[in-house]
Amino acid sequence: MTIMLLALVHTLWLGLQGFVYFYPLFMSYLWMMGAALFYWRFERDDVVNASQAPLQSLPPVSILIPCFNEGPHAEETIRHALATDYPDFEVIAIDDGSRDDTGSILDAMVPLHPRLRVVHMGTNQGKAMALQGGCLLARHELLLCIDGDALLDPQCARWMVRHFVADADVAAVTGNPRIRNRSTLLGRLQVGEFSSIVGMIKRAQRTFGRLFTVSGVITAFRKSALHDVGYWSADMLTEDIDITWKLQRAGWDIRFEPRALVWILMPETLRGLWKQRLRWATGGAQVLLKNLDVVAHPQQNHLWPLLLELCLSLLWSYLMVALTVIWLAGLVLPHGIVPLIGSPLIPRWSGALLGTTCLLQFAISKWLDSRYDHQLGRNYYWMVWYPLAFWLINIAATVVAFPRALGRRSARARWVSPDRGVHVSKGTTMGETHV
Amino acid sequence: MFDTLIINARRELGWQRRAASDLSTAMLWIGWILMWTPVFRKLREVVRLHVRFELAAREVLKTVTPISVGHAVVALLGTTTLLLLWSLLPKRRVIHAHATLTTTDHARHFGIDERQVASGLQSRICVVNHDDDGAVTGITPLYPPVQAPMVVPAPVLRFPQLEAA
């Protein structure tokens, strides 16, 4: 009996180690398969330029741009949005009680641009509430929401709207964010991340059924669908993940459109990156806790694989930390106290497998995304170490975030914008301008 | 358009930041190459001992994964198939997707007077005010100057029976 128990414990121990080492690899191959299937099903034949779509079939669109202290970026963002190649649209800039000159910059642009409208929040309310305000005053049924520092591709609206026209149960279409700032190693690593991880996961998730989240920086919504689920939640740290789950739980469909491009700024300091990832991880954990009851609703079975993946990723992060601690303890403690294991951070043969997988994933992402981002190949010189650099940050963020999400009381989420990388004109870091 | 959007201000960074970036990149590359050490060692053995490459590759694959490559491929294809089949299961679908909403619906949801929403819709600059709980309390159009909407007194519902009681 004791031997059987010991054998069981030993098997379980080996299983846990195997899970920690090979779960990321398995998921990586699964994403590659899913992304390749997405390309084969949705992207392969679609080479016709969107500008050739018949104009009369395109319904009008309201472009919503919530801004908070976006003085340095507001005008550029609005000008790009106004340059959208679309027959009928309006741009609504929402100034959420900015403390800088954002409001006056926006107001000064209104008389010059007939399509531009500005909505001021009397006091700062947070992004979710700003979006709700813009939604309330939008004249059109389709809303294209982008961030205050995001530059919209002129064809973006056309690519997104066709999904709404084709299917009445499409509630949202999320686009393909591409990173602008590539001055530092961190910036270039993130270029690779958005191609080889974010774009690939979105494609794979769409192939297998449902998206974990839309990109808050670029998503088009159907207003009636938002109304159906009670709009964005003001108390969630990541309103984009939350609205994705609310819509999908209500039976609405959400699409990913890789041709709908938006050019964004990302953090180029470790501190800025850490703050951003911690907020994303805490928001993700909040949504996980809020939606655990999905398993009790058989009609929402389409979300079960997503929930399982979320739980496994969380478990993997904690096990990775546990194995690292056991490995370190084994190095310093006398022999026999803790089981001796190899380093989970400095793998031996599995490292070579990880490296091969990573190169393969980069190659597939280049094949998928180089049509949209022509300079992608150049960044691969800096991207080879991506798995360790970013997975470490993401593991740490996940492990820290989950207890934070558990302990977080229901409170209004306020603006927390990351640094925006190295500014081209001054060569200085755009600092933490937001609360 | 694409080329003008990319920000590469590396030359404008201080030499310390550039040096730190170069050093980090070099260290990452050294780490990357070291990661392949077991492969290089095995290759050296293969060459030195004149072992058939195919046999060495099989041995390596056995070392790398706890399960065989065949099993790994079956697991991957099986999971992919299962997920694709899962997505075909009957699930909740929205049944009122064609519903169109009016200003009244939106105003009612946000608990605000419909006429204020209408005047906000006509304006190009307006202010939305909220109370402490985040509820919208009013919309004030600022530009172009529009006449304040005529406030029609709400009809007072009277219940003579109750008054009499």
- Give the model's pLDDT for residue A423: 58
User: Over 70: is that where the pLDDT of B141 sits?
Assistant: yes
Cβ distance of B8 and A182 shorter than 8 Å: yes
- With contacts defined as CB-CB under 8 Å, which chain A residues touch B28? 382, 384-385, 389
DSSP for A195-261, please give it: IIIIIHHHHHHHHHS--S---TTEEEEEHHHHHHHTS--TT-S-HHHHHHHHHHHTT-EEEEEEEEE
Q: How far is A18 from chain B (nearest CA, A)?
A: 8
Mean pLDDT over B124-140 rounds to: 93
- With contacts defined as CB-CB under 8 Å, which chain A residues touch B89? 301-302
- Give the model's pLDDT for residue B65: 67
Cβ distance of A117 and B125 shorter than 8 Å: yes
For an interface test with B, which of A26, A221, A264, A385 has the most B Cβ atoms less than 10 Å from its Cβ?
A385
Task: Give the 3-state secondary structure of chain B.
Answer: CHHHHCECCHHHCCHHHHHHHHHHHHHHHHHHHHHCHHHHHHHHHHHHHCCCHHHHHHHHHHHHCCCCHHHHHHHHHHHHHHHHHHCCCCCCCCCCCCCCCCHHHHHHHHCCCHHHHHHHHHCCEEEEEECCCCCEEEEEEEECCCCCCCCCCCCCCCCHHHHHC
- B24: nearest CB among A118, A185, A297: A185
- With contacts defined as CB-CB under 8 Å, which chain B residues touch A210? 87
pTM of the entire structure?
0.88
* Interval A353-375: pLDDT, tens: 888 888 888 889 888 988 888 77
Residue B45 contacts A where some CB pair is shorter than 8 Å: no
For an interface test with A, which of B1, B4, B5 has the most A Cβ atoms less than 10 Å from its Cβ?
B5
User: Over 50: is that where the pLDDT of B162 sits?
Assistant: no
Residue A201 contacts B where some CB pair is shorter than 8 Å: no
Q: What is the ipTM of this complex?
A: 0.87
- With contacts defined as CB-CB under 8 Å, which chain B residues touch A412? 134
Rounded Cα distance between A254 and B83, Å, is 17
- Which amino acid makes up residue B142? L
- With contacts defined as CB-CB under 8 Å, which chain A residues touch B40? none
Q: CA quadruple A326, A329, A335, A337: dihedral positive or negative?
A: negative
User: Over 60: is that where the pLDDT of B7 sits?
Assistant: yes
* Interval B84-124: pLDDT, tens: 999 999 887 887 766 778 889 989 999 999 999 999 999 99
Cβ distance of A209 and B12 shorter than 8 Å: no
Residue B58 contacts A where some CB pair is shorter than 8 Å: no
Cβ distance of A225 and B94 shorter than 8 Å: yes
- Give the model's pLDDT for residue B50: 83
B44 vs A418: which has the higher pLDDT: B44
Q: Which residues of chain A have pLDDT under 50?
A: 50, 424-435
- B32: nearest CB among A137, A234, A355: A355
- With contacts defined as CB-CB under 8 Å, which chain B residues touch A234? 134
Mean pLDDT over B140-149 rounds to: 72
Residues 296 through 325 of chain A touching chain B, CB cutoff 8 Å: 297, 299-302, 304-305
Q: Cβ–Cβ contacts within 10 Å for residue B73, how many?
A: 11
User: Over 70: is that where the pLDDT of B149 sits?
Assistant: no
Cβ distance of B7 and A180 shorter than 8 Å: yes
- Which chain B residue has its CA at the smallest distance from A308's CA? B83
Q: How far is B38 from chain A (nearest CA, A)?
A: 6
CA A306 to chain centre: 15
- Give the model's pLDDT for residue A10: 84
- With contacts defined as CB-CB under 8 Å, which chain A residues touch B39? 352
B165 vs A402: which has the higher pLDDT: A402
Run of H or E including A170: strand A170-179
- B125: nearest CB among A107, A234, A265: A107
Which tokens belong to A219? 């998503």
Report the phi/psi class of residue B61: left, alpha or beta, with left for phi > 0 and alpha for psi in -120 to 50. alpha
